[in-house]
Structure 1
Amino acid sequence: MSKLHEAAGLGQSIWLKGIDRPFIQDFQLRDLIEQGVHGVTTHPRDLALALANGRDYDQQIAELGQQGDALPDIAEKLLFTDVQTAVDLLHPIYERTHGVDGYVSLDVNPARAHSVDDLLSEGLRLAYDVDRVNVMVQIPATAAGIEAIEKLIGEGTNVNAT
């Protein structure tokens, strides 16, 4: 039994901070899940570093560029592809724990941290676009964020308050 499994046995959920496509495709995420990781948080910085340090996204970037997507849309679609793959890998944990664990947490745009309406619409859009039951929207715990968190939870959206 791994130390991560031991932690789970004590009621602790170990989450991984950050993923990128090479980490997923090289089975490193799968291996860590098998060792006891129960969730993942993401950050746009992870995608930026992966883009700067490799070519793992080149094919999807070219395809999206040919479709006429703008750069911000391309970046978001790249991230969504990685998040969807990760939530699919974590889904058995979500099922086994009856929704306690097995999530991937996805950041909202921090520029929207001070508007309830912006956080609410962004949170709902992210959850809808990723389209997985075990995606979690990460909302900053600002005054506006607290209000948006309550509304998102009321809408059935999984929330990670930071």
Structure 2
Amino acid sequence: MNEALKRLSGEGVSIWLDDISRDRLRTGNLEALVKDKNVVGVTSNPTIFAKALSKGDAYDDQVRDLAVRGVDVEEAVRAITTYDIRWGCDVLRPVYDRTDGLDGRVSIEVDPRLAHEAERTTAEARALWWMVDRPNLFIKIPATQKGLPSIAQAIAEGISVNVTLIFSLERYGKVIDAYFEGLEQARENGLDLSKISSVASFFVSRVDTEIDKRLDKIGSDEAKALRSKAGLANARLAYKLYEEKFASDRWKALKDAGARPQRPLWASTGVKDPDLSPTLYVDGLVAPGTVNTMPEATLDAEAEQGDPSGDTVRPNYADAQAHMDALKKAGVDYDDVVKVLEEEGVQKFEASWTELIASVQGELEKKGQGAVA
């Protein structure tokens, strides 16, 4: 096993791969990453699936069968994506068993077009949970204001949730509260709380991208000196909030009833600025009980040049707060930043979902014509 990745895992960081594809599954690549690079989980999103469908012939046979059956495009997309997720869950099942359900998780996202519709999001979460039918599944629900009730309801029904698209500290606090609320209802419903799991995906690099753009517009030397540090500072303060929330009496009562903590997950950890170290959002966010989901390029960079050397989060709380204060003083509106990022995040996933539907529709039509011929 790679030494840097082994050290990272030893610091309490679970290494997850932010990618899945039929080709990766059928070639045994995912199994190899589990063995050689200590990958213990997988996340997916609409962009990842749209990219996977656009390459190679791995999906041809299934698409042909769906076309022959006359399946509509929405059902076809679900059949295709849940097939990959189910397979991924089976590959990761030994990890799930070995870690007593902590890791070995694979995530699938609800239709992002439902991000602001609580009832429909909950209904889709139920449907995906039923379709994949694996205990090591996570259903990804976005942390929009309308998504919060869906998160609580899914947890209350025993559905494990990966809460995604978290950018602000204020919203993260509400996500944790929704988790607590769901667990409390699950306890009332007589469910085994130890079987329910959750992670909260706090996005990192996109924060720097948006704030750096604003700092460049301000243009002063003081503003430029603040570039590319907000992503880490924001995430570190999120971990501080996590520690505070999970030290509360409310959590202690749930823990005593068998509940598992909702782990912070660092998402969007591939650097967007080529001038930055490719391992910035990995080595800079080492803390116990966390998950870092990485694109393969970031995973490879960490394996080759990573230097995870102890906790890089908790010793930096004061510096993180000082940096956020300096940004405010420089004229960066944090509340507007996170609002823009959430709106853009939903829009990007909606665009990828639309692209995925169009791609599948085209393939269904092509394969259907071929079948008739």
Instruction: Kindly provide the amino acid, as one letter, of the partner of residue 95 in structure 2.
Output: I
Note the C-alpha offset of 1:25: 1.3
CA distance in 1, matches of 2:80, 2:99: 29
Superposed CA offset, 1:67-113 (max 9, x none): 12112211211111111110001111111111111110101111111
Q: Which residue of 2 aligns with 1:132?
A: 134
* Structure 1 CA distance for aligned equivalents of residues 137 and 6 of structure 2: 22
1:106 pairs with 2:131: no
**1:53-75 deviation digits (Å, cap 9, x = unpaired):** 21111111111111121122112
Give the TM-score taking structure 1 as reference length: 0.94
| Structure whose CA Rg is larger | 2
Residues 118-150 of structure 1 deviation map (CA, whole Å, 9 limit, x = unaligned): 111111111111110111000111112111111
Tell me, yes or no, if structure 1 residue 94 matches structure 2 residue 135: no
Q: Give the whole-Å Cα distance in 2 for the aligned partners of 1:5 and 1:20.
A: 25
Written as runs of structure 1 = structure 2, the 5 A alignment for 1:1-162 is: 1-2=1-2, 3-34=4-35, 35-162=37-164
**Structure 1 letter corresponding to 2:14:** S
Moved over 3 A (4+): none
**Kindly, what percent of the aligned residue pairs are identical?**
37
User: Any idea what SS the aligned residue of 2:13 has?
Assistant: coil
In structure 2, the residue corresponding to 1:143 is in which secondary structure? coil
Aligned length: 162
- Structure 1: gaps spanning 5 or more residues: none
Q: TM-score, normalised by structure 2?
A: 0.42
Structure 2: unaligned runs, 5 residues or longer:
165-373
Deviations along 1:18-64, one digit per CA (max 9) or x if unpaired, are: 11111111211111111311111111222222222211111111111
Q: Comparing both chains, which one has the higher relative contact order based on Cα–Cα distances under 8 Å and sequence gaps of 6 or more?
A: 2
CA distance in 2, matches of 1:75, 1:116: 21
Task: Give the deviation of 1:6 after TM superposition.
Answer: 2.5
CA distance in 1, matches of 2:5, 2:94: 17
Mapped to 2, the partners of 1:116 and 1:50 lie a distance apart of 29
What root-mean-square deviation, in Å, do the aligned CA atoms of Structure 1 and Structure 2 show? Answer: 1.2
SS of equivalent to 2:153: helix
One-letter code of the match for 1:13?
Answer: S
> Aligned AA for 2:22?
R
CA distance, structure 2, for counterparts of residue 77 and residue 134 of structure 1? 19
Amino acid at match of 1:14: I
SS at match of 2:17: strand
Per-residue deviation at 1:10?
Answer: 1.6
The 10-residue stretch of structure 1 (95-104 or 45-54) with the greater mean CA deviation from structure 2: 45-54
